[in-house]
Structure 1
Amino acid sequence: MGLFSGILGNATTQSNDAIAKELADVLIINEEVDLSFKLIRDLIVFTNKRLIIIDKQGMTGKKVEYRSIPYKSISRFSVETTGHFDLESELKIWISSGELPAEQLMFRKDANIINVQKALATAIL
């Protein structure tokens, strides 16, 4: 079911050790992966220092964008859960004095958005 959920856009938790190995070139000294979620090919990674959003692009996923957001720069966030007719949940993250959200992540029928919200709240509050 994990693979099927991932294909449908649902977030699935990932092994911290496996993600740390994958991000060995991105993580700094003494930075550890606390929690990570996979959305199809993309990743949301919570470390002890920042939030990293990994966007794998193109057909092969070889082109990768790493967006790094220090927790101290996140001013607010919102979570919108699914409804009867709206099947997508959404997480929005605002940076410092930004008027518009800096990040918008979509989830489909996903209970893990609550876990993502808890992890984000724990990191920034």
Structure 2
Amino acid sequence: MGFFQGLFGNYSEVSLEELQKKHGAYLIEGEEIQTGFKLVRDTLIFTNLRILDFDTQGATGKKTRIHSIYLDTICEVSCETAGMGVDDSEITITYIRSPYRKANELLLGSKTFEFPKKFDVVALYVQLENMAHNNVKNLNA
């Protein structure tokens, strides 16, 4: 079922040991893996500092693009829970891309992640929304 979920764009949860073994070299000082998910060859990891998005490319899978979203840059989160049939859950994260967060004009980016029905997307949404709320409050202080 995991392979078919991958084909349909769904992440499935991966053990911390597997994530640490395969992606531990990419962690920065003081960073710890909290949870992670796999989508065929791609991986999504949540740490105590950031979200790491590993996009494996090419026929051999040797080339990988790694994108980081720092948790303290998340400013908006939206969630769509799974419905009936083949519907899946989605979380869209909007984050600040500009290095100067108190600038007159912020550069924003967004990324959407799809999860299978069995994953409790609401718990992840609430955690991310709490971060976004605190980040916006600190930004405007």
TM over 0.5: yes
The 8 Å contact of residues 11 and 113 in structure 1, kept in 2 or not, is answered as no
The reply on whether 1:110 has 2:110 as its aligned counterpart is no
Larger Cα-atom Rg? 2
TM-score, structure 1 normalization: 0.76
* 1:120 Cα offset (Å): 3.3
* 1:7 Cα offset (Å): 5.0
* 1:13 Cα offset (Å): 1.4
Instruction: Indicate the residue corresponding to 2:101 in structure 1.
Output: none
* 1:87 Cα offset (Å): 2.4
Instruction: Indicate the residue corresponding to 1:87 in structure 2.
Output: 87
The 8 Å contact of residues 8 and 40 in structure 1, kept in 2 or not, is answered as no
Higher helix fraction (1 or 2)? 2
Whole-angstrom CA distance in 1 between matches of 2:15 and 2:125? 19
- 1:1-125 residue pairs with structure 2 within 5 A? 1-2=1-2, 5-6=5-6, 8-84=8-84, 87-96=87-96, 97=106, 102-107=110-115, 109-112=116-119, 114=121, 115-118=123-126, 120-121=128-129
Count of matched residue positions in the alignment of Structure 1 and Structure 2? 123
Unaligned runs of 5+ in 1: none
Whole-angstrom CA distance in 2 between matches of 1:121 and 1:41? 28
The 8 Å contact of residues 11 and 110 in structure 1, kept in 2 or not, is answered as no
**Once superposed, which parts of structure 1, at least 4 consecutive aligned residues long, lie more than 4 Å away?**
1-8, 121-125
TM-score, structure 2 normalization: 0.69
Whole-angstrom CA distance in 2 between matches of 1:112 and 1:98? 31
User: 1:56-88 deviations in whole A, cap 9, x for unaligned?
Assistant: 122222211111111010001111123346624
The alignment-based identity, stated in percent, is 33
Q: 1:113 to 1:94 in 2, by over 3 A?
A: farther
Unaligned runs of 5+ in 2: 97-105, 135-141
Counterpart amino acid of residue 106 in structure 1 = E
Whole-angstrom CA distance in 2 between matches of 1:116 and 1:60? 32
